[in-house]
Amino acid sequence: MEIMGTIESSKYCAGFVKRIGETEKWRNGERRLYMLQRSKINIFLILFLNLLLVFNIYAVEWQELSIYDAIHLHLASSELDDPGPYEFGRYGAHNLFDHDSSTCWAEGVSGDGIGESLYIGFEENLETIFIVNGYSKTKNLFYKNNRVKEFKISIFVGINKPGYVSEIFVFYDAIKFKQDTIIQLEDRMVPQEIAFPFNWKELNQFKKSALQMFVKDHIKELDDSGIEEDKLNVQYIMLLEIVDVYKGSKYEDTCVSDIWFLYDEEEK
């Protein structure tokens, strides 16, 4: 009887161990399946995030810009005592390009002009931005009016189709580069040098991608108009937006006297 009991117990134990082994195999298989599914999910998430990154960089909506083509390619969001689009006002943005510190651009909204801006055209291989801050005609006028403390700089690629101009404007379809940057100006009347704060290799790649996207999006229109890709005018455009100011002692008008550019001639 004891022998039979021992045999039965051994069979029971063996069966129990076998079931444990089968259960463990099942669990291992389930674990491998779970890890495989998790791996697939991770791969999907990585691809999805990469697509979002591409979308954020390149799939920004196009916007239409109408920019003055007089003295220098430019457009101000507002001007003090603005006489209208067909006349140059006393404090118009055209004053920025005359190399004369006795004239200035003064924004024309109430308050300190935070958020007011300037579009300015520029060329490839820009190296240095020169800015004469404030209304630098006299020391008295300089400190009575606001001066720019911080500008936010954004870069656009604008594309102009042949013939899309008016008497005073050039019309661009523009797309914004992925990065912005903030520059700080000193509270001084002398010209200030700002190193161009963007990577030209990245900008040129963005310009190429923008042109390809534009042609793809407008292929029928371009074909119907007989416009070839090499006839499109592709232009770099800088947006300077007032972020912060040095307060004037009497007036709230924020002023800038001059802006000009220095290019790397070796790269042009």
Tens digits of per-residue pLDDT, 64-88?
A: 999 999 889 999 999 999 998 889 9
The pTM of the full predicted model, rounded to 2 decimals, is 0.77
| 167 to 118, 145, 223, 249: CA distances (angstroms) | 20, 34, 26, 40
* pLDDT at residue 265, as a whole number: 80
Taking only the tens place, the pLDDT of each residue in 32-62 is 655 556 555 555 555 555 555 444 444 458 9
In angstroms, the CA 199 to CA 183 distance is: 15
Which residue type sits at 221? E
Q: For residues 73 and 170, is the Cβ–Cβ distance under 8 A?
A: yes
Q: How much is the pLDDT for 123? A: 97
What is the pLDDT, as a whole number, of residue 7? 47
Residue 85: the pLDDT is 85
Pairing of strands 105-106, 146-160: unpaired
Quote the pLDDT of residue 71.
Answer: 85
**pLDDT of res. 86:** 85
Q: What is the pLDDT of residue 57?
A: 46
Q: What is the mean pLDDT of each run of 10 residues along the chain (268 residues)?
A: 50 51 56 58 56 49 93 95 91 97 98 98 98 98 98 98 95 97 98 98 98 95 93 98 98 98 81
Tell me what pLDDT residue 61 has.
Answer: 86
Give the per-residue pLDDT at 147: 98
Q: Are 93 and 74 in contact (CB under 8 A)?
A: yes
How far is the C-alpha of 71 from the C-alpha of 163, rounded, in Å? 20
What is the spatial distance between Cα 233 and Cα 120, in angstroms, rounded to a whole number?
Answer: 16
